Amino acid sequence: MEFIAGTSKSLSDDVLVGLARYRNEVFVETLGWDLVTRAGLELDQFDGPDTIYVAARTGGRCVGIARLLPTVRPYLLSEIFPQLMGGAPIPSSHDVWELSRFTTLGIDSHASPGQFSSPTTIGLLEAVRSCALRHGVSRLITTLSSPGIERLLRKLGFLSYRAGPPQIINGHPLFACWIDLTRSAAEGA
């Protein structure tokens, strides 16, 4: 398993097409999200030239993806799901980035779709942390988190907490989640 991080400027076309195809397979075909796709590729208005992707690959195939966006420009939570902040201000800081489109769903044959603690998921989360820290990020805000991700973050020792109460979106309880990259759960809030 390899983990690759970069922008559309620095990643190969093969990697970029693979991650967009994988996102389509997971979010549109498997989860049934109503997203605009083109030629079997899922990309949206937040996939710009400076968007940072972290991809998990095995055998040249994308098996996990995460997208990192600075909160000082438009991002998914600020533009589409601000209600997930529960009335708190929308993050906008150079050291706070959004983590979105994070998934390894349907890839690890040893994990059920509801299992978030597969080796691929854990590796991708660690790769995201390393990438974010290299860019001077101290906290991440996630969009569309579920209780399973919340449990995984705590299990791995991340200091994380909900930004607001869960909202029912497409029949699922989802919320925005803060992840502190500079302190562990053992250090507390």
pLDDT by residue (tens digit) across 84-99? 999 999 999 999 999 9
- In this structure, what CATH number is given to the domain that contains residue 41? 3.40.630.30
Average pLDDT of the segment spanning 58-67: 94
Nearest to 105 by CA among 12, 24, 182, 184: 24
pLDDT in tens, 132-155: 999 999 999 998 888 888 888 888
Count how many domains the chain has. 1
Mean pLDDT of 59-81: 95
**If DSSP codes are grouped into helix, strand and coil, which group holds residue 125?**
helix
Question: Taking the CA of residue 157 as centre, how many other CA atoms within 13 Å lie in the half-sphere pointing to its CB?
Answer: 7
- Domain limits for position 37: 2-187
pLDDT band at 118 (very low <50, low <70, confident <90, very high): confident
